[in-house]
Amino acid sequence: MAEDNQALTPEMESLRKDFEEMLRSCHYVRSSEIPDIDLYMDQVTTFMEQHLAAFTRNPSADKLLTKTMINNYAKNDVLIPPVRKKYGMDHMILLIFIFYLKGYLSIGDIARVLAPIEERYTDGPLKGERSHKRTSESSLKLRDIYDRILGEMSGETERIKDSVEQQMKAADEAFSDLPAEDRKVLGRFDLICRMTAEIYMRQLFIERLIDKDTTEDK
């Protein structure tokens, strides 16, 4: 992308640098960073605030996972219930997944996504009619799954970076025939539209994946 970056206007080049800085600051939580002991609620929320703040719009003000949220997740069968008011490794990993999913999916959809994972790969009791099926021939635990997914994220981040930089170049060129101020305003608007369209299509496909799984289970 070095040659392409040189063709960007100063304004778009500044946005590109901001994007790269954002990617560097967004550090995914490794399982080795999660305490391998059971935690009380206050310890859980403190850990999340310390490790996920970079993924929020306003780290100093935005609430990540509050006590009320976590209690509601457990109450509504989105999260496996705590054991004697304590949260272990499985709880912490599920809460991290929930944090990322809740920006785009409803609570009901998150519950549908996580239900088979909780039933097959977590330890401890489940609520209501749900029970551990353990039908998989794999001996994988939730931590193994999390580590495997996280191990692929560096490559995924690079693909996202390349895609966004291509979108920036296209948006920058879309109004290159206009005066500088118009090009700046419309270039940003064009970039927002391009990225929003991609997000929308991805979210729509995720919803269809969820619906397909539900239909096939009937």
Q: So where are the chain's domains?
A: 2-217
122: left (phi over 0), alpha (psi -120 to 50) or beta: beta
In the chain, helix, strand, coil percent, each to 5? 65, 0, 30
211: left (phi over 0), alpha (psi -120 to 50) or beta: alpha
| pLDDT for res 54 | 83
| pLDDT for res 4 | 46
Alpha carbon 112 to chain centroid, angstroms: 16
Closest CA to 174 of 14, 6, 10, 9: 9
Cα torsion through 143, 145, 151, 157, rounded to 10:
-110
Whether the Cβ atoms of residue 112 and residue 213 lie closer than 8 Å to each other: yes
Q: Which residues pair with 135 in a beta bridge?
A: none
Distance of CA 10 to CAs 16, 23, 136, 181, Å? 10, 20, 54, 12
Average pLDDT for runs of 10 along the chain of length 218: 61 93 87 94 94 82 86 93 94 96 92 92 62 58 92 86 94 94 95 95 93 67
Please report, as a single letter, which amino acid is at residue 44.
V
Distance CA 47, CA 37 (A): 13
Angle at 193 between CA 189 and CA 194, to 5 degrees: 120
Length, in residues, of the chain = 218
Distance CA 8, CA 144 (A): 42
Distance CA 113, CA 206 (A): 10
| pLDDT for res 165 | 94
| pLDDT for res 212 | 85
| pLDDT for res 46 | 94
